[in-house]
């Protein structure tokens, strides 16, 4: 394979994942993992510079979870059920 062909293919796949997740749908790649939207609540945090309280607004975040198969390949000596 040529590098530019691989780059085009990877960009195409990543753009489709981004579009799908941006619409609020989850994406599952068997044997690799899944991407989902998580809604984070608003909260009060502290500014590390001066210690003042700051309100962090509610927002959405992408959460990625490793598949069992990938987890086991990365951690052969760990049982995932523990």
What are the structure tokens assigned to 59, written together?
Answer: 């927002």
pLDDT digits (tens, 9 = 90+) for 14-57: 999 999 999 999 999 999 999 999 999 999 999 999 999 999 99
* pTM score, whole prediction: 0.70
**Which one has a higher pLDDT value, 5 or 81?**
5
In SS3 terms, the chain reads as: CCHHHHHHHHHHHHHHHHHHHHCCCCEEECCCEEEEEEEECCEEEECCCCCCEEEECCEEEEEEEECHHHHHHHCCCCCCCC
Q: How much is the pLDDT for 82?
A: 54
């Amino acid at each position: 394979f040529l590098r530019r062909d691989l780059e085009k293919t990877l960009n195409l796949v990543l753009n489709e994942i981004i579009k799908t997740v941006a619409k609020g749908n989850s994406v599952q790649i068997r044997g690799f993992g899944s991407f989902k939207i998580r809604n984070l609540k608003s909260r009060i945090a502290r500014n590390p510079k001066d210690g003042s309280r700051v309100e962090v607004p509610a927002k959405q975040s992408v959460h990625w979870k490793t598949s069992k198969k990938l987890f086991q390949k990365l951690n052969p000596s760990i049982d995932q059920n523990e």
